[in-house]
Structure 1
Amino acid sequence: MNKKIVHDALILTAFTLVLGFLLGVVYDITKEPIAAAEKAALDEAYKVVFADAASFEADENFDAAKAAEIIGASEFSKDEITAVNKALDGSGNVLGYVINVTSHEGSQADISFSVGVQNDGTLNGYSITSISETPGLGVLVQEEPFYSQFEGKTEETYSVVKTAPAAENEIQAVTGATISSRAVTNGVNACLVYFRNALQGGN
């Protein structure tokens, strides 16, 4: 009986070691293609929100902890600034910034997207890079009828309404997806809070 237990334990250990090795090999093979795909998705999002930019450069002054402190002190503390890139023209001048944000207020899961903000605070819009909201409802926040409401605006903050907007700072929610609409809107607001406190006027 004891021999059988030892035998089974050895087989299980060997199986675990082989499985661990195979998983490590698969990870090594796939990590670079995955990273490349993620970078390509971000680069595409950057171009969507800053079409005039010739290139993008990571903001060397970005500090995730400082960003969390800034956002944590605002009413948009459920949002997280994850990265900041400078949008540069052909001569290397800064046209504005692309701010990456993750909203933790989605109805199904986090929503991650990039927001383009010009130097004077004008919004270029946003481009979603990760979303798992309800098909046919929440996912519609990545469609033109919703995201176009932000483009070219200069308000300090935006609020979600269920009917036609009566003011420039009002954003009409996707029908049946108020939570998703508010999650994205608050994410944009968080980016603007960070922009005003850390980027506007140069950093």
Structure 2
Amino acid sequence: MNKKIIHDALILTAFTLILGFILGAVYNITKGPIDAAEEKTAQTAYKAVFKDADSFKKHSFNKNKINKQLSKKGYDDVIEDIQEAKDKNGKVIGYVLTVTAKDGSQGSITFSVGIKNDGTLNGYSITASGETPGLGLKASENEFSNQFKNKKVDKLEVVKQKPSQDNEIQAITGATITSKAVSNGCNAAIETFKTNLKGGKA
């Protein structure tokens, strides 16, 4: 009886080791292409919100500190990454902040937001979203996203009617929650810029 238990245990151990080796090998094979695809998606988003930039360089920042600051000010959004947008001479002309808004109608929405040195919003580009096609996914379309371009405001506000002030964004019909999630994410980016990036504070 003891011999059978030992035999079965050895077989199970060997099987586990072999399976672990196979999974590790598959991970190593797929990691490179996955990382490359994610980097390509990110670079496309950076360029979409900062067409004047010649290159982008990762900006060093204290992620925990910045997101705690946002949380204290009532934001559920998280700043995932900050890139310095540089011209052909290597001069920083603004920043691209990648934000995850956690209050979308179907979950989180991740997007990049471009902000010039003077605080002007260039717009945003969504990189990941589980929003509903035909409704929340309209946040990726120009009709809605163009409203965010060339805005120089302290805070955006979503309205259902035609905007009467520069800080107002007209909600997507039937997708007010998504509209607010994107606007809140942009507000989190603006707040982070004002508090930590303007004047090279971070």
TM range (shorter): over 0.9
Question: SS at the partner of 1:20?
Answer: helix
Q: Offset of 1:149 from its aligned partner?
A: 0.5
Residue aligning to 1:90 = 88
For structure 2, list consecutive stretches of 5 or more residues without a partner in the other structure: none
Question: SS at the partner of 1:156?
Answer: coil
The reply to whether residue 158 of structure 1 matches residue 156 of structure 2 is yes
Amino acid at match of 1:71: L
Change (3 A) 1:6 1:176: farther
How far apart, CA to CA, are the structure 1 residues paired with 2:139 and 2:129? 10
Q: Offset of 1:7 from its aligned partner?
A: 4.5
Q: Offset of 1:2 from its aligned partner?
A: 6.0
Amino acid at match of 2:23: L
How far apart, CA to CA, are the structure 2 residues paired with 1:8 and 1:181? 58
Q: Deviation per CA, 1:86-142: give whole Å up to 9, x if none.
A: 111111111111011111111222111100000111110001111111122111111
How far apart, CA to CA, are the structure 2 residues paired with 1:92 and 1:22? 45
Residue aligning to 2:121 = 123
How far apart, CA to CA, are the structure 1 residues paired with 2:17 and 2:86? 49
Question: SS at the partner of 1:201?
Answer: coil
Residue aligning to 2:181 = 183
The reply to whether residue 140 of structure 1 matches residue 138 of structure 2 is yes
- Does the aligned pair in 2 maintain the 1:108–1:134 contact within 8 Å? yes
- The worse-fitting range, judged by mean Cα deviation, of 5-14 and 108-117 is 5-14
Structure 1 length-normalised TM:
0.93
Question: SS at the partner of 1:57?
Answer: strand
Provide the aligned length of Structure 1 versus Structure 2: 201
RMSD over aligned CA atoms reads 1.5
Q: Offset of 1:196 from its aligned partner?
A: 0.3
Structure 2 length-normalised TM:
0.93
How far apart, CA to CA, are the structure 2 residues paired with 1:11 and 1:123? 61
